[in-house]
Amino acid sequence: MQNQNQPGQMHQNMHTGAVPQQMNHGGHEMFDVHEVLSGSIETMNHYLMYMQYVKDPELRDILTRQYQFMQQEYNTTLECFKTGQDPTVPTQSYKMKQDNDFVYGMKPSQPKKPMQNMMEISDEFIASSMLAHCKAGATAKTMAALETTNPVVRRVLADSIPNCIEMGYELSIYMNKHHYYQVPQLAQEDMTAMMNAYAPAQGMPQATGMNMNQPLNQNNQLPH
């Protein structure tokens, strides 16, 4: 008798929405959050490997702080994903130590090419790889948040996206300061022309040629 009642109960759940809280996830959400969690593990594993090669104390400090933050954020995401409820530790905001000064312009540098052996691992390579992980995390979390039906998981994912952006910004500033990441600029007149190519929107647009309050006829068309 118990087995005969189970299909009816499942059928009722489908129509009433009475889904257990921990199972409150859609199919696309399951796959995309899986990618986010897997990507977080991969990023932390790579950060762990980089620790034995990094030379600059400043970069080591960035790596350590970002790793610790990622670890807590991973646990927060995992907890709400498994329970469907608010996590014990809510999403935090990552704070970088760098200022926001960029050096603009291009200077001659050696062409980049693939490494030939592990002895070529440098701080430039490590910082660039960390930046790539942060960008990938921001993309994955954005895609997952757009597909997520569970309100708690969606909020946690959405709140964690700015942290990926902040970490990436911190790394790009570090790389720029050490001439690893050069930022070209357009000519001043070109920048001015592009900045002035748009004007502010003003007011609510008005429909022309029809009265929006005019009733529809029987054919669901405005009368002529």
Mean pLDDT score, 48-53 = 96
The range of the structural domain enclosing residue 65 comes to 23-105+121-186
Mean pLDDT score, 56-70 = 97
CA distance 110 to 124: 13
- Quote the pTM value: 0.80
Q: pLDDT tens across 149-199, in order? A: 889 999 999 999 999 999 999 999 999 999 998 999 999 999 999 999 999
- Residue 12 vs residue 202, higher pLDDT: 202
Asked if the structure places residue 66 within a domain, the reply is yes
Give the per-residue pLDDT at 223.
Answer: 57
**Which CATH number belongs to the domain containing residue 35 in this structure?**
1.20.1260.10
User: What whole-number percentage of the chain has pLDDT above 90?
Assistant: 61
Asked if the structure places residue 223 within a domain, the reply is no
CA distance 96 to 167: 7
Asked if the structure places residue 92 within a domain, the reply is yes
Asked if the structure places residue 209 within a domain, the reply is no
Structural domains counted in the chain:
1
User: What residues contact 51, with CB distance under 8 A and at least 6 apart?
Assistant: 60, 63, 64
Identify the band that residue 23 occupies on the pLDDT scale cut at 50, 70 and 90: low
Q: Where do we find the tokens 């980049």?
A: 112
- Give yes or no for residue 45 having a pLDDT over 70: yes
Q: Where do we find the tokens 């490997």?
A: 49
Residues 130 and 171: beta-carbon distance below 8 Å: yes
Asked if the structure places residue 33 within a domain, the reply is yes
Q: pLDDT tens across 70-124, in order? A: 999 999 999 999 998 899 999 999 999 878 888 998 888 888 889 999 889 999 9
Residues 62 and 171: beta-carbon distance below 8 Å: yes
